[in-house]
Amino acid sequence: MGKYFAVAIDGPAAAGKSTVAKRVAQALGALYLDTGAMYRAVGLYMLRHGVALDDIEGIKKHAAEARVDVKYVEGTQRVLLCGEDVSQAIRENAVSAAASAVSAVPAVRELLVARQREIAEGNVVVMDGRDIGTKVLPDAPVKVFLTASAEVRARRRFEELQSKGQDVPYEQLLEEIRQRDHNDATRAASPMVRAEDAALLDSSDLTVDQVVEAIVAMARAKKEAAR
Ligand code: DC
């Protein structure tokens, strides 16, 4: 890849990556890319077209039809699926499991990783996902693995859904988070793993501000050193 500056933030579901990454991007004047949203869009496509989530061949066959684009409206990322803005629809709870299923299929990953690298090219980006530091941008100057206990993450997810009027029991969310952790960490294709050179940040007992400050400080130090 050519010149770019990236902050790669990886970690498990509901660790607060997107909240933190958005704020870090703002502080650095960088473009924020939520790569999970792209897998969610492909997952939504499969749900809408009745492709079973355990039908690997079916997902593979339909992967190229699920055209995912990202655009920025007043600095906010919007995700397009075959031209339709699905930014809201992909946040439905049912789409989480679909995203996790399609993200295990190498053909889906190849398409999306290529697109993610194109977006990073020539830009200052903050990207969050599972494989940014290990696979998408392995030479990103700043890498963070952001995590929190499963209970803290389920609680945060519960409150987020409640605030949107979606009533999903806490116990169900905890179980889903454990299931997704397991799927994301054990799949053969680019499993979620901390890159050797990624800083480990456990946000269980930290505020969002503290996490953001720590990452911005790392990024500024790297930028300074690169001058
Ligand atoms: O971060 P999220 O919950 O929106 O991600 C949805 C799913 O996509 C998640 O189960 C794992 C997968 N994913 C991935 O495999 N690689 C990424 N870079 C981002 C997300």
pLDDT of 93 over the 90 cut: no
What is the overall mean pLDDT for the chain?
94
Put simply, whether the predicted model's pTM sits higher than 0.95 gets the answer no
pLDDT at 224: 84
| Domain-wise residue ranges, the chain | 5-225
Ligand 1 centroid to 204 CA: how many Å?
Answer: 20
Cβ of 133 closer than 6 Å to ligand 1, yes or no, is no
Q: What is the pLDDT of residues 203-219, one digit of tens each?
A: 999 999 999 999 999 99
pLDDT at 2: 63
- Which residue's CA lies nearest to atom 3 of ligand 1? 13
Q: What is the pLDDT of residues 195-206, one digit of tens each?
A: 999 999 999 999
Q: What is the pLDDT of residues 34-59, one digit of tens each?
A: 999 999 999 999 999 999 999 999 99
pLDDT at 74: 87
pLDDT of 3 over the 90 cut: no
Atom of ligand 1 nearest to the CA of 131: 18
pLDDT at 213: 97
Cβ of 116 closer than 6 Å to ligand 1, yes or no, is no
Ligand 1 centroid to 226 CA: how many Å?
Answer: 31
Which comes out higher in pLDDT, residue 13 or 55?
Answer: 55
Ligand 1 centroid to 130 CA: how many Å?
Answer: 6
Ligand 1 centroid to 36 CA: how many Å?
Answer: 4
pLDDT of 70 over the 80 cut: yes
pLDDT of 84 over the 70 cut: yes
- Which residue's CA lies nearest to atom 4 of ligand 1? 36
Q: What is the pLDDT of residues 122-148, one digit of tens each?
A: 899 999 999 999 999 999 999 999 999
Cβ of 180 closer than 6 Å to ligand 1, yes or no, is yes
pLDDT of 1 over the 90 cut: no
Atom of ligand 1 nearest to the CA of 192: 15
Pick the CATH number of 5-225 from 3.30.1280.10, 3.40.50.300, 3.30.56.10, 3.40.50.620: 3.40.50.300
pLDDT at 13: 87
- Which residue's CA lies nearest to atom 16 of ligand 1? 130
Please give the full DSSP string across the chain, using - where no structure is assigned.
--S-EEEEEE-STTSSHHHHHHHHHHHHT-EEEEHHHHHHHHHHHHHHTT--TT-HHHHHHHHTTS-EEEEEETTEEEEEETTEE-TTGGGSHHHHHHHHHHTT-HHHHHHHHHHHHHHHTTSEEEEEESSIIIIISTT-SEEEEEE--HHHHHHHHHHHHHHTT----HHHHHHHHHHHHHHHHH-SSS-----TTPEEEE-TTS-HHHHHHHHHHHHHHHHHHH-
User: Residue 103 — pLDDT band, cuts 50, 70, 90?
Assistant: very high
